[in-house]
A and B are shown apart, each in its own frame.
Chain A
């Protein structure tokens, strides 16, 4: 865990986008993900997996995430999650920002 995260947000509620809000979780809370999606039945599992994979790859362990999805593709979900992490103060492993 790379220090305490600020609460931060990325993305919008427009069609095809996803809004990710990130806040620091208590230690040992693990990744707590609250997902709301217009395609929950079809892609709920996939979305949750994508977000968790990004967090794990960045070494983030204890975090609260709220994701409001409007039908975003995988690459959008990754980008928005990484942006939210960057804004929250996490030091990203990929030099993309």
Chain B
């Protein structure tokens, strides 16, 4: 499974930002044709992002393009962008499974022969979209993640956005649960105050506790902080290694039951330990013990 700890928005009509989007180490960059682009510049941004996808090296970052809503320039965006081989499209304001099915059909029609299938990330930012989260997540095999867009969502609710986020408690729970039920990732809403590092840290800790697999980022400075929360700590890795060792010991001894510090190592614990070690290996955090 690909890491999407951080998904960083890059304005689609800014050559300087598009050129440097790959240097911040985000797991995904989202080249944005929607909110970051003025209505009169949609053609210009679309052309620019199409060329950036073909010529700019985004390093290890997955390239995601946020297209415009389906009732505006969405179809045009798909026709122009999909043949340029982005890793995924982010579809804004998804309301229902039907929206995703329509997008999937357009994407299939736009793909070049032999092209790796373009994935979809559904951005849920309306009460209806949240309500339909599970059916959206299951609408097409291209869908790899649900992302929560809390700003538009709370505006539709008529709720005030707050820093601690009690107003999006339900939405967060529903998105995380629907994604998990469908076996895909869930990505949390961005923290919009780019200057408040402590606030971002707390908000990311909250998202991780909810079960989100990553967080949208609206400023490159947010990437490292988000990663610092999502990366397993040395204590986590240490614990996970002990779990695995206990398991191996039990197997060697022919015992069906492993235990660590007097506690039984059951399936959920093994699964959590394996997840930690998988991440730690992927991020090169176990270098010392491997060598």
Contacts and interface: CB of A to CB of B under 8 A. Distances in A.
Given A14-B16, A17-B16, A73-B19, A96 B46 contact: yes
Given A96-B46, A97-B46, A75 B52 contact: yes
B56 interface: yes
A83 B47 contact: yes
Please classify how large the interface on chain B is, using the bins under 10, 10 to 19, 20 to 34, 35 or more: 10 to 19
Interface in A42-80: 72-76, 78-80
Contacts of B50: 79, 96
Contacts of B47: 79-80, 82-83, 86, 96-97
Interface residues of A, number: 21
A10 B79 CA distance: 21
Tell me if B's interface is mostly helix, strand, loop or mixed.
Answer: helix
Contacts of B80: 95-97
Nearest to B44: A83
Contacts of B48: 76, 79-80, 83
Interface string A7-48: 000110011110000000000000000000000000000000
B16 A16 contact: yes
Interface of B: 14-16, 18-19, 43-44, 46-48, 50-52, 54-56, 76, 79-80
Given A86-B47, A97-B43, 6 more contacts: A10-B44, A17-B15, A76-B15, A82-B47, A95-B79, A97-B80
Interface of A: 10-11, 14-17, 72-76, 78-80, 82-83, 86-87, 95-97
